[in-house]
Structure 1
C-alpha cells in the first residue's frame, strides 16, 4: 500500500493496521484456515471478503494536537495493578507492546499479547481526553455519534475548532501517563471527570513523540464510549473486550503497535505476465531469478526467504536475511526452475509466517518478448516546445513484428527520482513513438517513461524511454526566456535592453523596485511594481529607472524614488549663493548694502567689503 495516506477532510495520517484474512499487516492467513477474519477462498477462483483496515492518527502532543485540552497534565504515579478496591477510581489501565505479527495474532480476535514474539514498549506515553459539559452538549447537538463512522473524525475536528474560535473549550482535560518496563500504564483522570469518562473519551498512544501505528479500540480521533470498539481492542491473555470495574475503573485498554512499513519482496528480472522465464532459451542462457527487498524487515529477526515450486513444495533450504541487502544472496538458480509453472519467493518471519511474497512463471515455448529487445534512443525536449521521440528499434537490428503495439506502462520517474503519474504532456502512441510537450515551468532533467510492448503472439514486456527536459533558453541570463523576450520586444542577447541600469527580467518582475503600484514602499525582499524594460525612463521624469531606484541622499544613504511616478524624482542639489568678487559677501547682500558686487573693496581703503562688515580686520 502506498504511503503516506491521509484523510483529506481532516489532514490526518492514515495507518495500515490489519487485513482480512490475517490479523496484522503482512501476516496473511493461509487459505487452509478457512474463514479467518471473514475471508474465504474459492479453490481455483479467488479470495473473497478480503479487506485492508486503516486507523486515523491525529497530530501528536508535541505537534499541538487539537485533541488535547489546555488543561493538560501528566500522571507521574506510575502503573497500579487494576485489582481490588485500592485501585484508583476514575482511571484507565492498559498495556502497550510491539506486536510480532504471527502465530495466534492471525485469527479473528486480532493481536494477543500472550506469546514470546511480542515486546512491551517501555517509556511510551498514553493520553486520554474527556469532553467538557459544553463539548458534550455540542457533540449531541451535532449528532456526531449518529453520523456514518467515516464522517465522525472530520465532524469532531470541526466541532473542536469552531468552539475554540468562539471562546469555548470542548475538552475538559487531557491526562497522560508513561509505560513501565512491562509496557503497563495507569492514567488517573481525577474525580472531576465523573461519568463523562465512560462515554466521551478519546485515548491514544505515542512513542518517541509520534503517534503509534497501533491496533486499538480507538481507531480514529473521535470521542466515544470507552468500550465502543471492544471487538477491535487488542487483548491480554486471551481476554476479549474492555471490561470495567465498578466505580469508573477501566482496564485492558491496550495498544498493539504493528509494523506498517513491512518489507516488500520483488522478483526483479522475471514475473508472471510481462517477463516470464523462457525455458526454450536453455538454462545455460537464463539468469537466476533475483530477489530484492525494500521497506523494513520484521523486528523479531530470524527472517528468511523461501522458494516454492509449481508442486507447492519448498526448493532447497531457507536463505537467511538479516538485512535487506542479504536478499541478493537468495537468487533461484536456472536449474531449479527448469520445469514450466509458477515459482514463488516468500519472506518468512521468525514464527514461520509469510509476510511478503512474489512469483514468476517459467514457460516452455519461445515467445516474442524473449526474441526481440526494442530500445529507445535518448531524446532531449526543450520546455515549452513539442518534441517527437522515434519508435524504438531492436538492438540487434531485427524488424519488430508487424502488429506490435505500445502503450504507457505506469508511473514515470521524474528528475528527482520520484515515481509520479504520467504527466499529461507525455503521449505514448500505439506505433511506439512518444510525443512530449513539457510546459515552460516543467522541472528540467531526465524523465524515465515506461512503455509496455505487446507482440502479436500476446507476449509482453516493459521497456523505458529517457527524455531530458531542458529549461527554456535565456541567452542573456536576464531571467527572461528568449521566447518571452521575443513576445515583449526586448533584446534576447542583451540583459539590459534600455540600458537604464536594471536587467530586463528585474524590470518585468519588479524585483529591483522598492515601490508597489500604489507608490507605497514594499517590505524588504518583496518585489515592487514592474517597469518598462524597453524604456530607460519609464515615467518620463528625466531620470533613468536605475538612477531612481539606486538614488542616494547627500549623506550616501539609500533614498530611492518611484520610477513609475513622474512627481517622484531625485532632488536637484541647491547651488551655493553667488559671490562674484569673492569678498565674502553674496551679490544679494552687496545689493542690500549698496556695495559693488563686482569689486571686492568698494571704497578702496585696503580692506575687503566682507572683512569690513564682519570686523575681522579691525
Structure 2
C-alpha cells in the first residue's frame, strides 16, 4: 500500500522539474535492471544484489545478508523489476540505514544531491509502482509533495457569483496584492494577483484527519467587478470528491464546525524581480494557519454551513530586491541614539518613530477594518533594525509625474524603474534598532525628511527583511498614514511643527513555510498499531521566531502530547516522536501539529488499526499494463503468499479512484483508460474490509501505455466490384466491399467513408476506377485504401449501329447474298481484329428480279462478343419495260379496192392487251 497522495491524480504531471524527470531513482532502476537481467544463475543474481546493497547503502553485512535472503532470488521467472520493487520495499522498512539518509518527506523545491542513494521522488512513476507493491510502514508520501488539482473555476463547476454562493463542497475566495486598499474580501480596491497564480488549500476533518493538499489557480476573467465573488483574483476549490481513510471513512469538506482549513500562495516574483509573499489569510488572519470553518472570528469569510466556504481571501505583500528603495548601503545613516521616550511631545524635529512587534493574530482574529494592534499575545522585538528612506524635492516631483499618475497596479514597477535610473532622488536612508519594548526613532538630517514620500521596512536580528503590516506593504513611497487599513494601530500621524512622524509601526508577520509529515504512518494505507512509534519529519528553512511547539491531538481534539518550545527543525522532530497508546481504538486518528505563535501552521495525521485481519493479511495486486482505449480486468488480489484472502472479504474503491477504473465487489478492477489519460504509472486504491470488519487500503499498480493506433493493428481489405456497362455502383456497395479481418464485432465499429463520391463510375465508361475510401476507427486513427470498381465492356450491339446501302436491281436481275451482305456496314468498328459476321436470315427473301418493287431482306449482324444487331437491307427491283410486259396485237384491216387506208385506221388496228387504260397510253406511229 501507499499513502493517500498516491491515490490522487497520479502520475503527477504538473510542473515536473528536470531534476525529477532525470531523478537518480530512474537511473538506478535502469542500472540495476540492465545488469541484473544479464545474469542467469541464482548465485550470480545473489552476488550482484549483495554487491549493489553494499555499494549503495550503509547496511551492515548482517543486514545485507538478511535483505538478500528476504528477496528470494531463487524464484522462477523472477524479473529485475520484481526484485527492484521488493528491494525498495525492504529498504523502506530500513530507511534509517540509507546512505545518505533520505526521508521521503522532502520539502517542495528540494533537490536530491546524491545519485548513489536510493532517493525516491513523489513524481517518479517507478516510485509509485514500488509503493503500490510495498506493505512497508515507511512508504508514506508527503501531502505537500503530491498535490490534487481541484480547480472549480477551471472545470466549470463555478462560473458565476451565484455558483460561488451555492455550489456545494467548495471553498472559494480571491487573492490580492496589498498596494492601496482595505483588508475586506469584497470591493477592497486592491490589485488582484496575476492571472493563473496557484493557490493551495488543505483541511482537517472533525476527527483530525488531515486531507491531501489541493491546488487551484486564480483568474481575472469571470468578472471585472471588485464586488463580485468571482471578481479579479478569484479562486475556487472543488471538493466534491471525498478522500477515504484506511478504515473506509469518506472525508468530504462541507464547511461545518470542526472542519479546519488553511490557504496559501507560494512566494513568487513580479515582472520587475520583487518578491511577493503572503501577508494575511481570511479567515484565520495569520497566513497559512488552520482556521475553523465556523468561527466567531470572521474577517470577511462566510461559511454556508454544511455546504461551502466562500469569500475567503489571501493578501500578498511585496518585498523589494536589490535595495533600490534606499540609498547605497554604504551611505545609510546609523541612528544610534535609540528611541525618543515621548515622541508625541518632544522638541526634536524631522524624525520617524514607532514600534515593531511580531504579530500572532492575538486580538486581531476578527479585525477586518484596520491593521493589527499590539496585543498581549504579540511579541515586541528588540534589536530589530528599522530602515527608512525619504525622497528629495526633485524626486518627489518625478515620483508624482512618473509613478503616482499611473494606475495602482503599475506603480510598483514604475517606481522600480525610476529609482534604478535615479538613485539620487532618495534624499537619505536612516536606520536604527529597536529597544526592549520594540520602540525605535530614526532622526533624519535637516531638510531631508519628506512629509509625504517615505518608505520603510524591518530587518530581523539576522539581517533578513521581514514582511509585515505597515504603511509600506508594497514598494511605494507614500505618506505613512496613506494606507491606514493596513497600518498597525495606533494610526500614524504627522507633527507639522516638527515635520515628524509618530506611530509608524510595523506588525511583523514572521511566518516561515513549514510542513510536518508522519514518515511511517498515515490515514489511508499505513495505519499504526498500538505501541508503534510515529516519527515526524519537519521541513522548513528555519522555524518561526515565534514561540513554537509540537503537539499531538486525538480524534476529539484533546491534546495527548505537547512539547516545550522548539527553535530548530531538529528539536521539533525529536519532540514530535509519539507512541500510540495501548488503549487506542481502531479508527482513532492522531494528528500532529506545529503550533507557532498560538496558530496551527502545519499538521499531519495517522489512523490506528488494531484488528487481527488487517494486520495479518497483505493483499497484492499484480502490476497491470493497459493501453489507452483498451479495456482490461485486473484479477481479484491474493495474499502476498499467493493464497486467497479469507472468505467474506469485501472490496470497494478507495480514495480518488481514477474515473477510468471501477473496483468490483469481488476485488477485480475493470480499467478502461481513454486517450486523454496520460501514459505512466498509476495506483488504483482499494479498501479491503475483512470479516472482522478491519480495513486497509491497498493499491493496484497500473501502467498506462500510449495506445497503438487501431489503424496500425488492422489491415482492411477490399473486394473488386464488377458492374455491367451502364450500371452505376452505389456508395453502400463500395462500403460493403471493405472488410477488416479479426476486428471485434462487439463494441463501436469503424466508420467507412468515400473520399470523393464523384469518383464513383456511372457506368458509361469501360474499365477500372479505384475509388478512395477512408476507414475511421473509434480511436480516431484511419486507414486509407481503394475499392476497384470495374465497369464491364459495352456490348457491341449497344456500342455500334449497323447501316445499310439500298440495293437497286434491274427487273429480271436477281440479287445475291454477297450483294446484300456487302450493303451492310458498321461505322467506327475497328478494322483490326475480329470482324462482325453478317448473315441473311432467310435467303428465300432475296428477290430474283421477277417482281418489281422493294424487298427488305432481313440481315443479322453478329459481333465477336456474341451480341447481334438485326437490320434489313432494302433491295429494289426496277420496273419491267412495257414492250417486254405487253404484246401489241393487230386487227386486220380490209378495205375495198380503191379505198385507201388511213393512218388512223392502221393505228386503230393496233391494241395492247391488258395495258391499263388510265394514265398515259402507248403511242402508235
Question: What TM bracket, shorter-length normalisation?
Answer: 0.5 to 0.7
Q: What is the rounded CA distance, in whole Å, between the counterparts of 1:331 and 1:40 in structure 2?
A: 39
- Superposed displacement of residue 354, structure 1: 3.0
- Superposed displacement of residue 92, structure 1: 0.8
- Superposed displacement of residue 184, structure 1: 1.8
- Superposed displacement of residue 223, structure 1: 1.4
Which of 347, 354, 357 is 1:97 aligned to? 357
Work out whether 1:222 is the aligned partner of 2:476: yes
Unaligned runs of 5+ in 1: 378-390, 410-428, 437-448, 466-618
Aligned CA distance change for structure 1 residues 11 and 399 (closer, same or farther; 3 Å): farther
Q: What is the rounded CA distance, in whole Å, between the counterparts of 1:375 and 1:256 in structure 2?
A: 57
Q: What secondary structure, in the 3-state scheme, does the structure 1 residue paired with 2:451 have?
A: helix
- TM-score where L is the length of structure 2: 0.36
Which of 296, 314, 334 is 2:558 aligned to? 314
- The aligned residue for residue 6 of structure 1 is 268
Q: Deviations along 1:367-401, whole A, 9 cap, x unmatched?
A: 9xx95356889xxxxxxxxxxxxx9x996558999
1:276-287, aligned counterparts within 5 Å? 277=527
Which of 549, 564, 570 is 1:303 aligned to? 549
Q: What is the rounded CA distance, in whole Å, between the counterparts of 1:47 and 1:308 in structure 2?
A: 25
Q: What is the rounded CA distance, in whole Å, between the counterparts of 1:69 and 1:158 in structure 2?
A: 15
Q: What secondary structure, in the 3-state scheme, does the structure 2 residue paired with 1:38 have?
A: coil
- Superposed displacement of residue 305, structure 1: 1.0
- The aligned residue for residue 86 of structure 1 is 346
Work out whether 1:53 is the aligned partner of 2:315: yes
- The aligned residue for residue 115 of structure 1 is 376
1:240-389, aligned counterparts within 5 Å? 241-247=491-497, 248-271=499-522, 274-275=524-525, 277=527, 291-295=536-540, 296-301=542-547, 303-309=549-555, 312-314=556-558, 316-318=560-562, 322=566, 323-333=571-581, 335-338=583-586, 340=587, 344-349=591-596, 351=598, 353-359=599-605, 372-373=619-620
Q: What secondary structure, in the 3-state scheme, does the structure 1 residue paired with 2:299 have?
A: helix
Q: What secondary structure, in the 3-state scheme, does the structure 1 residue paired with 2:525 have?
A: coil
Q: Deviations along 1:501-537, whole A, 9 cap, x unmatched?
A: xxxxxxxxxxxxxxxxxxxxxxxxxxxxxxxxxxxxx
Q: What is the rounded CA distance, in whole Å, between the counterparts of 1:31 and 1:435 in structure 2?
A: 36
Which of 432, 436, 440 is 1:181 aligned to? 436
1:122-161, aligned counterparts within 5 Å? 122=383, 124-144=384-404, 146-149=406-409, 151-161=410-420
Q: What secondary structure, in the 3-state scheme, does the structure 2 residue paired with 1:354 have?
A: strand
RMSD across aligned C-alpha pairs, in angstroms?
Answer: 4.8
- Superposed displacement of residue 118, structure 1: 1.0
- Superposed displacement of residue 8, structure 1: 3.3
- Checking the alignment, whether the CA contact within 8 Å between 2:657 and 2:684 is kept in structure 1 is no
- Checking the alignment, whether the CA contact within 8 Å between 2:339 and 2:440 is kept in structure 1 is yes
- Superposed displacement of residue 226, structure 1: 1.5
Q: What is the rounded CA distance, in whole Å, between the counterparts of 1:213 and 1:463 in structure 2?
A: 46
Aligned CA distance change for structure 1 residues 152 and 316 (closer, same or farther; 3 Å): same
- Superposed displacement of residue 269, structure 1: 4.6
Work out whether 1:67 is the aligned partner of 2:325: yes
Q: What secondary structure, in the 3-state scheme, does the structure 1 residue paired with 2:447 have?
A: helix
Count of aligned pairs: 393
Q: Deviations along 1:242-280, whole A, 9 cap, x unmatched?
A: 2333333211112233332254233445555x53749xx
Q: What is the rounded CA distance, in whole Å, between the counterparts of 2:527 and 2:552 in structure 1?
A: 19
- Checking the alignment, whether the CA contact within 8 Å between 2:391 and 2:453 is kept in structure 1 is yes
Q: What is the rounded CA distance, in whole Å, between the counterparts of 1:153 and 1:399 in structure 2?
A: 67
- Superposed displacement of residue 181, structure 1: 3.5
Structure whose CA Rg is larger: 2
Q: What secondary structure, in the 3-state scheme, does the structure 1 residue paired with 2:552 have?
A: strand
Work out whether 1:199 is the aligned partner of 2:452: yes
Aligned CA distance change for structure 1 residues 49 and 404 (closer, same or farther; 3 Å): closer
Q: What is the rounded CA distance, in whole Å, between the counterparts of 1:246 and 1:217 in structure 2?
A: 19
Q: What secondary structure, in the 3-state scheme, does the structure 2 residue paired with 1:103 have?
A: coil
- Superposed displacement of residue 9, structure 1: 0.9
- Checking the alignment, whether the CA contact within 8 Å between 1:201 and 1:224 is kept in structure 2 is yes
- Checking the alignment, whether the CA contact within 8 Å between 2:622 and 2:700 is kept in structure 1 is yes
Q: What is the rounded CA distance, in whole Å, between the counterparts of 2:311 and 2:265 in structure 1?
A: 23
- Superposed displacement of residue 230, structure 1: 1.7
- Checking the alignment, whether the CA contact within 8 Å between 2:683 and 2:700 is kept in structure 1 is yes
- Checking the alignment, whether the CA contact within 8 Å between 1:453 and 1:460 is kept in structure 2 is no
Q: What is the rounded CA distance, in whole Å, between the counterparts of 2:445 and 2:312 in structure 1?
A: 43
Q: What secondary structure, in the 3-state scheme, does the structure 1 residue paired with 2:316 have?
A: strand
Q: What is the rounded CA distance, in whole Å, between the counterparts of 2:440 and 2:312 in structure 1?
A: 35
Q: Deviations along 1:439-470, whole A, 9 cap, x unmatched?
A: xxxxxxxxxx98443449899767999xxxxx
- Superposed displacement of residue 138, structure 1: 3.0
Aligned CA distance change for structure 1 residues 324 and 193 (closer, same or farther; 3 Å): same
Aligned CA distance change for structure 1 residues 408 and 81 (closer, same or farther; 3 Å): farther
Unaligned runs of 5+ in 2: 1-199, 201-263, 625-633, 659-671, 690-695, 703-925
Q: What is the rounded CA distance, in whole Å, between the counterparts of 2:426 and 2:439 in structure 1?
A: 25
Q: What is the rounded CA distance, in whole Å, between the counterparts of 1:328 and 1:464 in structure 2?
A: 33
- The aligned residue for residue 756 of structure 2 is none
Q: What is the rounded CA distance, in whole Å, between the counterparts of 1:461 and 1:140 in structure 2?
A: 65
1:9-20, aligned counterparts within 5 Å? 9-20=271-282
